[in-house]
Structure 1
Amino acid sequence: MTGTDPVDPSPASSEPAGPAPADSDQTRRDRLLRAATTVSVSVASCLSLLKLAAWLVTGSAAILSSLLDSLVDVAASGILLISVRHALRPPDRSHRFGHGKAEPLGAIAQAAFVGGSALLLIFESAGRFITPEPVSDPPVGIAVMMVSLVATVALVIFQRSVARRTASTAIAADRLNYVGDTATSMVVLAVLLIGQSPGWLWLDPAAAIGVALWLLVSAARIARNAVDHLMDRELPREDRLRIAEIVRADPEVVDLHDLRTRSAGGTRFIELHVEMEGGLTLWQAHTVCDRVEASLSRAFPDVEVILHQEPAGLDDDRLDHRIARRPG
């Protein structure tokens, strides 16, 4: 008996080795998302304090525009942090598909903050055209905006890497917001460098309004992308064609129909009907579907696949026939 004891644990200890890579990938994704949200809030908070000091010293409308943008970033990044961490929660009895849609909800809140700050900035800057004022102590503003530009560019590069590796809509939305910040910082720097001559005082409020218009465009893009996710928009056409190609590549699959796709957070959902020869046993059909699901999982990481087995040529009321045909 004692001689066999060391042998028994070895199969049990080796069983978890299979799913370990997937668990490791998910853990790595979660860690990246948490790091990205924390860094975003920290950078936005520090830059807001710097720009507040610079605006109090210089009185520049352009710096005020950048300050308002950073204050919005603090609020938006805070919402991002909350929504992403909620989205990372695993499925439960009340949310069997997970909590991934918390990300686009956070992105919509970001769009609202960005759009509101843009309108406030336009209102604040309009009066400067009537009574333009020179900027006080431009070197202070220049130094602060240089620091802001370097920090924002570093954050955008980091967020780009995280968004690519996690497919997070919220991180992508936040990155788009900070891309706008880099443009804002460059515009404000140009104003501080060349816009202080008597004939160029109009450039300060003009730059602020230009930044505000950019923010409105960014807000619209963020909102549109978030709404697409909340409304379960199909995956891109290229992905759907690739899914169909993978399914049809199995030698025992005759065809497919009712292909439906969507995404929530970093998870993509694929649902379709697999048509096979009617003479296959249930066990054989199950084996075919397992093969197809494995092929789709290799091609699309972080995917959940739902397959319905159906005899080829069955005359059923297919959803495909009820959908209006549109190009693309």
Structure 2
Amino acid sequence: MPGSGRVRRLTVWTIVIGVAIFALKALAWWLTGSVALFSDAMESIVNVVASVAAWYAIRLSYTPADDNHPYGHHKAEYLSAVLEGVLIVVAALLIMREAALAFQASELHAMPVLGLVINGIAGIGNAIWAYVLIKVGREARSPALIADGRHLWTDVVTSAGVIVGLILALATGWLWLDPLMAIVVALNILYHGWKMVSASVQGLMDTSVDPQDLVEIEKLVAANCKGAIEFHDLKTREAGRARFIEFHLVVPSDMSVEAAHRICDRIEEAFRRDMSDAKVTIHVEPEYKAKHG
């Protein structure tokens, strides 16, 4: 799993790259006067602001647990992702306003082809960086990094749509295609913003781990609980990159506390080895508490 240093460096580079991409897209808009390219540049402003929020949230999430936050600060990343989703919605509404005004006076400046080329270069840069962020974000189990990468990927799709729409407008002379494409872009941004907010809110609500991870957790406990009778009432929740796991471990009634403790130690050591982001709580129970024959 990538260390905190690498994740933090990525968030800093995301801000730097975001500013550079915005500059390219702003130049493309200035050269063309296209409201669709304006919408693309507007989303890049959101990218920069969201990247700053992600940088701060990830930095906060790696702060060690303290007296006021005994379970750590992992959920800070979800707050960043929620903020990013809200900013996307605001940007989409502003784009729709500009597009509505542009329907009344659609026009393009003298250098639309150069503007399209510059915007295309910016889109390629975003695509490469989005791939890096999503890949590392999944490895590091970082909701903020994944949200940032997915947002950049929607920006790539946006840029591609804008370029196609603008090429059609230039080829046909139907300049109303430019603001129409801006509205399509805004609707796409709204959709992805809603998905991002929904996913982050689920994280804040202590959603359980996904079914595949749950199967791995059950296998890990079963493989390391030799000497116990059974385990049951397994509960899990996720908080950023951390996973909290708790369950009841039933042992023979005549087993000593020391022997039961050794079993717990073995299980916890297995989690530290194979699932280092897991925080495990085990409640030991006597034999008569068994739920299975």
What letter is aligned with 2:287? Answer: A
Matched, 1:117 2:91: yes
Matches within 5 A, 1:151-230: 151-197=125-171, 199-230=173-204
- The aligned residue for residue 114 of structure 2 is 140
Matched, 1:311 2:289: no
Matches within 5 A, 1:68-79: 68-79=42-53
Per-residue deviation at 1:39? 1.4
Matched, 1:289 2:230: no
Per-residue deviation at 1:251? 2.6
Relative contact order: is structure 1 or structure 2 higher (C-alpha 8 Å, sep ≥ 6)? 2
Matched, 1:63 2:31: no
Q: 1:126 aligns with which of 87, 100, 111?
A: 100
What letter is aligned with 1:230? Answer: L
Whole-Å separation in 1 of the counterparts to 2:188 and 2:3: 31
Paired residue secondary structure (2:289):
coil
Per-residue deviation at 1:194? 2.8
Whole-Å separation in 1 of the counterparts to 2:277 and 2:29: 46
Matched, 1:301 2:292: no
Paired residue secondary structure (1:97):
coil
Whole-Å separation in 2 of the counterparts to 1:155 and 1:242: 31
Per-residue deviation at 1:60? 0.2
Between 1:51-60 and 1:105-114, the stretch displaced more is 51-60
Q: TM-score, normalised by structure 1?
A: 0.83
- Do 1:268 and 1:303's aligned partners in 2 also have CA atoms closer than 8 Å? yes
Whole-Å separation in 2 of the counterparts to 1:43 and 1:181: 14
- Do 2:154 and 2:192's aligned partners in 1 also have CA atoms closer than 8 Å? yes
Structure 2 unpaired stretches of 5+: none
Q: 2:239 aligns with which of 258, 264, 267?
A: 264
Task: Please tell me whether Structure 1 or Structure 2 has the larger radius of gyration of its CA atoms.
Answer: 1
- Do 1:271 and 1:306's aligned partners in 2 also have CA atoms closer than 8 Å? yes
Whole-Å separation in 2 of the counterparts to 1:245 and 1:315: 19
Per-residue deviation at 1:198? 5.0
Per-residue deviation at 1:296? 3.0
- The aligned residue for residue 123 of structure 2 is 149
Between 1:125-134 and 1:216-225, the stretch displaced more is 125-134
Paired residue secondary structure (1:195):
helix
What letter is aligned with 2:243? Answer: R
- The aligned residue for residue 80 of structure 1 is 54
Per-residue deviation at 1:48? 1.4
Between 1:103-112 and 1:125-134, the stretch displaced more is 125-134
Structure 1 runs of 4+ off > 6 angstroms? none
- The aligned residue for residue 248 of structure 1 is 222
Provide, for residues 91-120 of structure 1, a one-character-per-residue CA deviation record: whole Å limited to 9, x for no partner.
112111111111001111101101110111
What letter is aligned with 1:70? Answer: S
What letter is aligned with 2:258? Answer: W
- Do 2:18 and 2:47's aligned partners in 1 also have CA atoms closer than 8 Å? yes
Paired residue secondary structure (1:268):
strand
Between 1:189-198 and 1:231-240, the stretch displaced more is 189-198
Q: TM-score, normalised by structure 2?
A: 0.93
Whole-Å separation in 2 of the counterparts to 1:229 and 1:183: 26
- Do 1:145 and 1:188's aligned partners in 2 also have CA atoms closer than 8 Å? no
What letter is aligned with 2:39? Answer: S
Structure 1 unpaired stretches of 5+: 1-24, 317-328
Per-residue deviation at 1:142? 1.5
Q: 1:103 aligns with which of 50, 56, 77?
A: 77
Paired residue secondary structure (2:233):
strand
